[in-house]
Structure formats: structure tokens, C-alpha cells
Amino acid sequence: MQMLGLVYNYLTLTYCFQSLAGTIAAMIGSGIIVQRIPYKEGFGAKQLAWMAHTAILGAVVAPVCFIGGPLVVRAAWWVLTV
């Protein structure tokens, strides 16, 4: 598991622009998928796609808040309330 973390760190630090572009593409792509699936009563594909989309968003926002500290978290809460 530690080796996987080292590979991830190497890839994100070496190819930082590609990592940023891939992250943005994953967020936009998952959002498009959620919007394209028609809603049906009950638990189905749209709810699963929505859960995957929120997981991707959480995976992007959590490290930013962790690295940025309390100031970034406070700014995120201010943006959320507006």
C-alpha cells in the first residue's frame, strides 16, 4: 500500500498539469453523467452516479482544505452560504 502512495506522489508531482487536467475532467465528466441519466423512482443508476460524483468532488476538495488549513475551510463555508 505504501508503494501505491509513492507511485501516486511521483505521478502527481512529475505530471502536475496532467493531474490537474485529469481531476477537472473527472469532475466535469461525472457531473455530465449524473445529468444525463433520467430520474426514476427508487434507488437506481442515477443515485449511484450521484454518489460517485460526490465522492470525486470530496476527493478533490478534502486535500485542498487539509493543506490550506482553517483559512481555506472558512472560505469554503463562506462560499457555501452565499
pLDDT, one tens digit per residue, over 19-50 is: 788 888 999 999 999 999 998 888 989 999 99
Containing structural domain, residue 65: 2-81
Of 10-14, 72-76, 77-81, the range with the lowest mean pLDDT is: 10-14
**Phi, psi (degrees; rounded to nearest 5) at 12:** -75, -30
53, HSE (Cβ side, Cα atoms, 13 Å): 17
List, in order, residues 6 or more apart from 45 with CB less than 8 Å away.
37
Q: What is the pLDDT of residues 60-70, one digit of tens each?
A: 888 777 777 88
Q: Are the C-beta atoms of 40 and 46 separated by less than 8 Å?
A: yes
**Domain total for the chain?**
1
- pTM assigned to the model: 0.68
